[in-house]
Amino acid sequence: MIISLVGKHSKTLLADFDTAGVEYEVRHPQPGVIMNAGDAVSLAETVISAAAVVIVAWIKYAPTRKVMITLPDHKIVRAEGRSVAEVEQLLRAAKQVMVMDAKKSDHK
């Protein structure tokens, strides 16, 4: 499964994955290719349960954090307000996952 990281603050999810021992592989955009997201991470099927726990906790930490999951029928659902079991089920069915933290920059 591939998770797209949108915005520089979305990378805080990776620190939480590290803390929880969730293994992932960072996939940097191909040079010269314009993308609508920054980096992406690849998760093995075996870590989806642990990733769901981390994602639910990550979302609850700040209201600016969003996780959108695109299902095979192209329906987009948000992970906010869902249980770990629900998020795990959605991740297992996901066609695409996008993570973003809309936290405003401290720079003026």
Q: What is the pLDDT of residues 41-56, one digit of tens each?
A: 999 999 999 999 999 9
Rounded Cα distance between 25 and 46, Å, is: 13
Contacts of 4 (CB under 8 A, 6+ apart): 37, 38, 40, 96, 97, 98, 99
pLDDT of residue 37: 59
pLDDT of residue 31: 72
Q: Which residues of the chain have pLDDT under 50?
A: 107-108
- Contact yes or no for 41/5 (Cβ under 8 A): yes
pLDDT of residue 34: 60
Report strand pairing: 40-42 vs 2-6. Answer: antiparallel
pLDDT of residue 104: 65
User: For the whole model, what pTM was predicted?
Assistant: 0.86
Rounded Cα distance between 39 and 73, Å, is: 25
Rounded Cα distance between 2 and 27, Å, is: 9
pLDDT of residue 108: 46
pLDDT of residue 107: 46
Report strand pairing: 65-70 vs 96-101. Answer: antiparallel
Q: Enter the DSSP assignment of 9.
A: G
**Of 24, 22, 32, 33, nearest to 1 (Cα)?**
24
